[in-house]
Amino acid sequence: MLRILEAVISIITLLTFFFGYFLAFPSIPSLESINWKLQTYNLLKTLDEKGMLRNFILQNRSTTLKNILKTYLGTKNLEVVICETQCNLPEIESEKLTSIFYLISGNSTHFSPKQILVYRW
């Protein structure tokens, strides 16, 4: 009788371990936030290829860049941070927050590396 009880307890322990270890899948990010990243990155890349992004950044016109991004992405929930080495993080309270990082080195006549962080929620 004690052997049966010992076997049942060991089986329950093993099953608990296997279910806890193998069935605990990492959470999959929502497709919405992945689409936000792709859309925003592609828009930044397009603006960079046209030369507009570099001019906005070197002239420190983050508000203009923010308004363009809001217009083309069709969202009001957007924040743009431009910095050189250390970026101040904005205080955004949202359950769905996505950040997009873009780096430029300046233009052909002026070397000035800058980081562009775009937050969408």
Contact call for residues 96 and 31 (beta carbons, < 8 A): no
In this predicted model, what pLDDT tens digit does every residue of 65-114 receive, in sequence order? 999 999 999 888 899 999 887 888 888 888 888 899 999 887 677 788 88
Separation of first and last alpha carbons in the chain:
60
* Residue-number span of the structural domain to which 47 is assigned: 31-120
Both structure tokens of 30:
């929502």
Cα–Cα dist 112/110, whole Å:
6
pLDDT band at 25 (very low <50, low <70, confident <90, very high): low
Q: What is the pLDDT of residue 112?
A: 80
| Residue 63 covered by a domain | yes
| Residue 114 forms part of a structural domain | yes
Q: How far apart are CA 55 and CA 29, in angstroms?
A: 34
Instruction: Assess contact for 119 and 87: CB atoms under 8 A.
Output: no
Mean pLDDT of the chain: 86
Q: Which pLDDT value is given to residue 117?
A: 92
107 found inside a domain: yes
Classify residue 25: in a domain, yes or no.
no
Residue 16 has pLDDT above 90, yes or no: no
C-alpha span between 9 and 6 (Å, rounded): 5
